[in-house]
Structure 1
Amino acid sequence: MPHHTPEEIIEGITHSPEVVLTSQELTSSRRKVINKYMMAISVIALVVTGIYLFLSTEQLAELHAALQQDNNRFYWMLLVGFSAEIVAGSMGMGYGVICTTILLILNVPPPVISASIHSAESFTSAAGSISHWQLGNINKKLAKALAIPAIIGAVTGALLLSYVGERYAKMTKPFIAFYTMYLGIRILQNAFKKKENNKEKK
């Protein structure tokens, strides 16, 4: 059996193809993440610049006056969305619950709340779905089985909320508020359960 010095062993490990391949994969994945962030920042910068160039001073003044209507509700909604997205980004849940609760407090109609939240979540959900698909975390059989019922449920819920929410807003708001409170309690319970399970494992 050949005898190797410690220096030869270390040199063999550092120059092994497995180690080189792993480092290349890590570098490639990091570059992909950085490229995605840079692309998003570039798109946002281009959109903002385009809006600034195409809108005249008078149009900007009219837009500013329109945003200040209803006690600056738009800015409050913007702050709510930003804060809720920070929580959702750190916990992976809670965006819809937080936004629904605060928008109900701001006396926003239920159909408007549903449309606003789902419009915003469509982008984040799409990005999350793409990430899970790239990582291979999606059960294709389950996704196919749930696709049609999910579409039917979403369309039915939107139609019912639009019809009932406009005519019976006083009745639907308490129901939505209690349901949102229940979801919030469940999220907190799940968060504390995860902490307890992690402590037990340690």
Structure 2
Amino acid sequence: MKKLIILAVIGLCAQLVDGSLGMAYGVTSTSLLLLFGIAPAAASASVHLAEVVTTAASGISHIRFGNVDKNIVKRLLIPGSVGAFIGAIFLGSIPGDIIKPYISLFLLGLGCFVIYRFLFKKVDVKEKKQPDFNKKFFIPLGFIAGFFDSTGGGGWGPITTPVLLSKNNIETRKVVGSVDTSEFAISVSATIGFLFSLGWGEINFIWVFALMIGGIIAAPIAAWLVKIIPSHLLGVLVGGMIILTNVRTLLLTINVSSSAMLAIYSILFVLWISGVIYVVKKLKKYKVQY
């Protein structure tokens, strides 16, 4: 029972971060299940089954709070679903860990760009124009993000969120809300793929239920936070999460010692908090309401 309560709390915290920053539910939950000794494929399958419910709750919440651009969701659905299904089918045979560091390096660069853009760009109080993205932009983005989401137990948010944030003509809250809402279809496709390749026997339904409960509780709270947090502050928060997540992957790849990792994390965390404080002061200067 104690383990289930811990899982529910982790599911709540993971969804709170995921729903408000557009990433982290899959990565956090999968990492926890791996610590408990579940095989990678089974862990990813359990997390994606839980996400079918948590992403549905998150998507409904974001829609109600007006955080969703329906055109972005529609364009991400098909390529993302195809990528997630293929990734789930071939999880056992595709060396995703070999490619993952290169993806992390790319995302680390995007994370730095996102923070730079929201830290030093002038605060614009005008409403942004409707984004106009070419279909060719969404097909590879959705497919790659969906594929790595299945093979790595998380990747839809960490890949799609920073790429969309690198564009200037879309609100930060619309990026987070659209990414979270479209993730429902990706979770369904990945789950179907896992059922084909693994079967029901590999999924721990008790653990899945615990993760679901925590995620359902957190979903509306996270959507509300996205609604009220100013775009510049939300962008810096997202950028910091992108950097910390991908630095961890790169440091583990090159086998950096635990003491060195702690020192690097500490420096990055202090810089991140300093950036948040700087943006808060800038927003007060321009009298942006929370």
Q: TM-score, normalised by structure 1?
A: 0.49
Quick check: which one's helix share is greater?
A: 1
Q: TM-score, normalised by structure 2?
A: 0.36
